[in-house]
Every structure is written in C-alpha cells, then in structure tokens.
Structure 1
C-alpha cells in the first residue's frame, strides 16, 4: 500500500514495521512514543522540521518486514522522554491542577526507588518528573503507577497550571481549583496547530503565569479576566486581555470559542500570540463576545 501524509504514524508502523527504521534515519524516534504515534505523517514532519514529501518518500520506499532488533532497541518507550545522556528516560505523570494526595506521593516515591530513578523533579507544569529510568523499566513504572502521562511534548494543550485560589491562598480573589480541574479535563492533550499552554490564577499576582501563556484566566474582585496570546521562550510575548470580569459560568464557553478561532485561523505550528500579531485581535474578540450571547 502507498502511505499518505494524512495517515497516523501508528497506522503506518502497523502496516509496515520497517517504516520505524526509515523514520529513525531521519531523526524521528516515534515508535512507542505516547505523544507522537497518534500524529499524522504531515504533523510529524512539521514537528521535526522535515520536508513532508521527503518523509513520505522515505516510508513508502521502506522494505516491507518486521522491525530489526537494533531498531527496536532504539525505539522510544511509551511515555518516555530521552535525556541528555541519550540512554535513560524521564516520565512525567499527569497531575491535574498540581494537586496530589499523600497516597500518590508515596506511590511515586516507592516506584521511583524500586527502579533506581536518578532524581525526582518538580516541573514548571506542576508535575513530578521521574528522571533517569532505563528504557526497559519505563513500561513497568507506568504500569505500577497507574497514572496517565502528562502531555509534555507535541502539538497539543500541554499543561494547565492552577494556583490555590481562594480555597487556600489568603490573596485569592476567586476560586481556581475546581475551575482548573474542569479546564484540565476539557482541554489537556487536545490536538491544536501548535503547542498550547494554559494558566488559572486567583488574583493579579498571576502565580501561574496567566498573562504569559496562550490562554490564561486571572481572578479579580469582580470576576475573571481572560488573557490570550502570551508565551515564554526565546521570543517572549505578553498576553492581551481579551475579556474582563467574566463570571465563572462564562469562562468555558469563551475558552471554547478561543480554541475554535485558533484552529480555524492558525498556520501549522503558529502560536496563538503570533496569530494575533499577524491578523489582529479584533476578530478573536468579536468571536469570543458572540459566545456570551
């Protein structure tokens, strides 16, 4: 069969396991990667800055057959992220809103100790990364943890950072934890034109970077402000205030409208802030306002 750019990596590799070796030669180590195998060939090419036609020709010209032992040994274990030493892996279990129970902490500690993890690292996305695992141990660790991977890479909603809000923080002006959990459940891992980050802050201190993520919520004395288009990185961008003093029940419909507008108008791998810089904020503002009526 001839593969096409709209086919998913997992379907390509299932049809011909040898294509995984062909992709490895181009620098794609997608076999077994929980974050990548559901991407299309076209998206995989974009993520790795490859000409899509080069990738397509490579997989279509691959010899039909089973994966070699050498290629299988190089395959990235599901949910694992290769580390600097090019030998060990880290994993980052998903922790919605950064809230954990003592039982979860004990389980992470016990499993990490059992498999001789080199370190536990609290990440900026409010997860606990287990660092320095052998590739053959990664599936066992996931099985014993019984937790889902956090979407640390890929063209999707990678994280929803949430502060304690007025549930716990003396400076909190609005509720954040229940709202953040609902936002996480609704959007985490959602496929989008580029990576996408969210933050929910209960006051103008914005401890979860609500003004410097793609879509941020900030509590005020009268409701919630909604920020769009922020990002960090080598070209940081301050977010724009899209709407002010939203009530809690208005937030999800407005967020849905922002996501829809972004999907309809963004170029591949274009962050929301770059989209706003390219076409302006007015169209998005009108689109979001309509979601309230």
Structure 2
C-alpha cells in the first residue's frame, strides 16, 4: 500500500486520510482542522471524495499519529490499486433505491488491492448516478432488486461509458466487486484500464 502523501508545487505535502465514500466524523474534522491550522492552513476536497490536508514536511509523523487518534489512517493513493470508492447520499435521498452510501463504505474494505491500473468505483442509489457510476471502472446503480453493475467506464483522456455487466442483490455487492477486481488481475496487462481489457478479450470474462 502506497502512503497517501504527495509533495505539492508550493513545497507543502498533501496527506490524504482514508475517507470511505467521503464519510468523515466531527471528531475527525477537528483533527483535520488542527493539522491544517498547524500546516499550510488549507485542505482540498478531491474528485474522489477525499480530503487533502496540506502540511509541512516535518509534520508527517505528527499527522499520521493525530489522524490515527481520530480513527483515521493515511489512505491509499497511486495508479495501480483499488481507490477510495465514491458514494452518493444513499438512503438520505428520496430518489434512492438502495443505500448506496453504506454500501460504498462496505466496498471500501477492498481499497489498496493491487491491480494492473487504478480502479475507480462509484456507487449510486438510483439512475441519477450522482457517483459517476457509468464513467468509472466499476459502477453500481441501485434499483428495486439490488444494483446494476457497469464496468469499463472512464472519464479521462479517452472517455468511455461503462457497459452493463449484470444485476446483483444488495447483499452480494462487495463480493461482486471483488470478483471483478480478481478478473481484472487475471486478464489485465500492466497499465491497462478495464475498458481496454474488455476491448481485447471481451466482456464475458468478467461475468
């Protein structure tokens, strides 16, 4: 697992604690605020529902310890592993068909698994797809039966819309995502996106 620490162009370093589906408690916010005040005075919300705390290099050990005291560990960052899953507001939203927030938090147990390239995951409670579920590597969209799973999406330099793989009941979402990650490791070449694996060997290898 790669430490979620990245040096910035202004000389500060960004510490990214693990924030499954962007969920942070009040106690954790207090710890983050203290680190930021002692450091560069800023935090940055990322596109992956993470929070980057800008600190001085000499603060790194203190940052790890203070985050640990607040129940947070320094998360995962890097190109070739399962990333922090994104989740919508789930059951808090009147349109939600499934509690995508709690399910995204459960999927976060897979964060840090090594893969041929980064794996971005979005869990949305309905077809509004507020967690980008059709333009990430693995996307889940809630329905009355469970979740429709899409794979092979990408919002980067070569945009792709994910293809529907299957529908799974809510209780099977973590195992279904883990199986997709395992298939990616089995069939993917170093540096490939999931959509490139699908183009090369077909969608059926992920079913």
What CA RMSD, in Å, does the superposition of the two structures yield over aligned residues? 1.6
**TM-score of the two chains, using structure 1 as the length reference:** 0.66
Q: TM-score, normalised by structure 2?
A: 0.92
Per-residue deviation at 1:95?
1.0
Alignment equivalent of 2:96, drawn from 160, 168, 172: 172
The answer to whether the Cα contact below 8 Å between 1:89 and 1:135 also exists between their aligned partners in 2 is: yes
Q: Which residue of structure 1 lines up, in the alignment, with residue 204 of structure 2? A: 282
Residue 94 in 1 paired to residue 9 in 2? no
Q: 1:238 to 1:277 in 2, by over 3 A?
A: same
Query: How far apart, CA to CA, are the structure 1 residues paired with 2:5 and 2:106?
Result: 26
Q: Distance in 2 between matches of 1:176 and 1:79?
A: 25
Equivalents in 1 of 2:205, 2:14: separation in Å?
41
Residues 1:268 and 2:190 are matched in the alignment: yes
Deviation at 1:211, TM superposition (A): 0.8
Q: Which moved more, 1:144-153 or 1:259-268?
A: 144-153
Q: Which among 135, 146, 161 is matched to residue 223 of structure 1?
A: 146
Task: Please tell me whether Structure 1 or Structure 2 has the larger radius of gyration of its CA atoms.
Answer: 1
1:135 aligns with 2:76: no
Structure 1 position 79, deviation (Å): 4.0
Matched position secondary structure for 1:269:
coil
Query: Structure 1, unaligned stretches of length 5 or more?
Result: 1-33, 36-77, 286-293
- Report if aligned partners of 1:150, 1:158 keep a CA contact under 8 Å in 2: no
Q: Which residue number in structure 2 is paired with residue 212 of structure 1?
A: 135
Give the number of the structure with larger relative contact order, counting CA–CA contacts within 8 Å between residues 6 or more apart.
Answer: 2
CA contact (8 A) 1:204 1:219 kept: yes
After superposing on structure 2, the runs of 4+ consecutive aligned residues of structure 1 that deviate more than 3 Å are none
